Chain A
Amino acid sequence: MPIDPNRETWKPGMPWEKALEDIEYITGLGREMGGVERIERQHSGGRYTVRERVEKMLDKGSFVEYGPMIGAAEYDDDGNLIEFSPGAYVMGLGEINGRPVAIGGDDFTISGGSPHNVRKHPIDFMQPLASQYGIPYIQLVEGVGHSAKSDEAKGHMGLPDGALWWRGIELLKKVPVAAGIMGSVAGAPAAFALMSHFTVMVKGQSQIFPSGPPVVKRAIGEDLDKEELGGYKMHVHESGQVDNVADSEEEAFEQIKQFISYLPNTTNDVAPRVETGDPPDRRPEELLNIIPPNRKRSYDPRKLIKLVVDNGEFFEMRRHWAGALITGFARLDGYSVGIIGSDPMFMAGAMDGWAAEKYAHFVDLCDAFNLPVVIFLDMPGFMLGSHSERKATMRRGVRALIASAEAEVPKIEFNVRKAYGVAADAAHSLGHPNGLNLRFGWPAGEWGGIPIEGGVAAAYRREIENAPDPEAHRSMIEDRLLKLRSPFRAAHKGDVVDLIDPRETRRLACRFVKLAQPMLEKLAQKPKRVVRP
């Protein structure tokens, strides 16, 4: 329904009934967004409009819109409304599974989501509200940022003062922020999207970059389409800029809901416990033989994790990037936990620069949101060789160590197989020195400063070279050391709380997480840092 230029508009002195009619009328105009044609274009591109997105994300009927009447309104001399176009942002309060959230999204049917001549930004309402009420903030981003046309309209290009960002950064200190990257996103909207605790993009539909293909071509001559430049293959699989990918918008909404479900409403709260119905003393039989007897062989680490956590539900973050390390969320006896695991199927589970970065970020995230951490470690050490050196592996590894040492959340660590060198120390050093920092070993455990093979070659080099049969001499020393590798020897020295039957893992982990709760309450009261994405 387009605007009716002959309609008389309510003016002071007219009856309230007429005012109510006008509220309904103007709000209705707002709901039409950029018009039938633009909505059609959105739909034919396989996309939902922002209003449909908000509706799908929230519990039915829970949306309370802020500013539905904000828009460019033009009145004639008699005070009748003759033109109205709504602001290009839809936002408000809502609930997800009964929990309150603040939500907003760009309306791409209006001026391509670009800043409009009307000021309607999340920065004015949603961000302060989420921050002050202490509720999660969800942003559904589909905007391309600054437009050269708007410079022309304003008559100057300008030098922003940077204050635009402060509120968003303050928000990151306080509440969970999740972003759905819903289309081609560039410039400031792209930066806002990435300024989140969780980001997800839709396969084939979302792209993110500072500037899109025309600007890239003009600047450096590279001629790529937007999917090659900033699609999911680039940013979820290769660069790690975006956390997750979804096959559809619906799946992206589902991932955001899941992410938020594991977190508390603020960094000063503890995540709510959910009744999962999975008994904490369940003994997963399959854990007994999950580690193959041949230490060179792999196993499925996700299967291991799923056997331990409640109902096998594991929400993985950054699944497709820095694959040697697994990070995600799960529940144990209904309590939210952060899970860190090694993936021996990817680069032997060795820590390279990327995995170190993934580790440090995830530890920071758990620490900010008071989530206890459960680690399943099978780490042969830092990834070695020139390719790994190029990734500044050890400096970033040190960052992982520092993140661990600074974090105060309690940790339980299951040393399921290998734990070697400084890289494994990153995991060992997590947990407040005076807090809960429990370590258990599995019988497959083999731990040390350096693996026997390389360690012997390095430390006994001269002795081996000078032996009449160097090969035999090397084997002899290796065999001698092999006996020391038994995890029983480490257990005798108290390196672990205990060497356990792997089937006991779930019971112990559930026990630990329950014990950690009062400590989490105390940690929640401490001031928090911004988690840098």
Chain B
Amino acid sequence: MAGHQVNSPMTGQVIEVSVEVGQSISAGDLLIVIESMKMENEIFSEVNGRIASIEVVEDQNVSEENLLMTIEI
């Protein structure tokens, strides 16, 4: 079992967490939306797997490279 880390590509605010812990996901699924530079930046999964942990909540500010969630693959 390997953990795939999803880090924030940019500094901004979490406006939507689109998955739950334990949920199975496929590459290309929407994971989270971060508002930054007045845009809703959708972060999609690069891998198939299961959400192992979610490290942020809605409305939270995040920095570039902050860990958002881990995916068990």
Asked if A385 is at the interface (CB within 8 A of a chain B CB), the reply is yes
- Give the residue name and chain of the A residue nearest to B37 (CB): A348
- Using an 8 Å CB-CB cutoff, how does the interface string of B30-64 with A read, 1 for contact, 0 for none? 00000111111110000000000000000000011
CB–CB A298/B36 < 8 A: no
Report which B residues bind A (CB closer than 8 A): 9-11, 35-42, 63-65
Residues of A with C-beta under 8 A to B35: 296
Give the Cβ gap from A37 to chain B, nearest Cβ, in Å. Answer: 38
Cβ of A189 under 8 Å from chain B = no
Q: Is the CB of A385 within 8 A of B40?
A: no
Q: Which residues of chain B come closer than 8 Å to A381, judged between CB atoms?
A: 37
User: Using Cβ atoms and an 8 Å threshold, which residues of chain B touch A387?
Assistant: 10-11, 63-65
- In-complex Cβ contact of B36 among A295, A345, A347, A451 (8 A): A347
Chain A residues near B65 (CB-CB < 8 A): 387
- How many Å from the CB of B16 to the closest CB on chain A? 12
With A387-B63, A387-B65 in contact, is A347–B41 under 8 Å at CB? Answer: yes
- Is the contact region of chain A dominated by helix, strand, or loop, or is it mixed? loop
Closest Cβ of chain B to A228, distance in Å, is: 16
Name the one of B41, B63, B64 contacting A348, with C-beta atoms under 8 angstroms.
Answer: B41
Least CB distance from B64 to A in Å reads 4
Minimum CB–CB distance for A422 against chain B, Å: 15
Contact in complex: A350, B42 (CB < 8 Å):
no
* Neighbouring B residues of A297 by C-beta, 8 Å: 39-40
Q: Is A453 an interface residue (CB 8 A)?
A: yes
- Cβ-closest chain B residue relative to A352: B10
Instruction: Give how many A residues have a beta carbon under 8 Å from the other chain's beta carbons.
Output: 20
- CB within 8 A of A380: which of B9, B11, B39, B40? B39
A-B contact pairs, 16 of them (CB 8 A): A296-B35, A296-B40, A297-B39, A298-B42, A344-B39, A347-B10, A348-B10, A348-B39, A350-B37, A383-B37, A385-B63, A385-B64, A386-B11, A386-B63, A387-B11, A387-B63
Instruction: Name the CB-closest residue of A to B41.
Output: A348
Contacts of A165 in B (CB 8 A): none
Contact A383 B38, beta carbon cutoff 8 Å: no
| Contact indicator B38/A348 (Cβ below 8 Å) | yes
Within 8 A of B (CB), among A325-359: 344-350
| A384 interface hit (Cβ, 8 Å) | yes
The residue in B11, B39, B40 that gathers the most chain A C-beta atoms within 10 A of its C-beta is: B39
Given contacts A385-B64, A387-B64, A387-B65, contact A453 B9 (CB under 8 A): no
**Complex interface: chain B residues within 8 A of A453 (CB):** 38
CB-CB nearest in chain A for B11: A385
CB distance from B55 to the nearest CB of A (A): 18
Residues of B within 8 A of A298 (CB): 39-42
Given contacts A385-B64, A387-B64, contact A348 B36 (CB under 8 A): yes
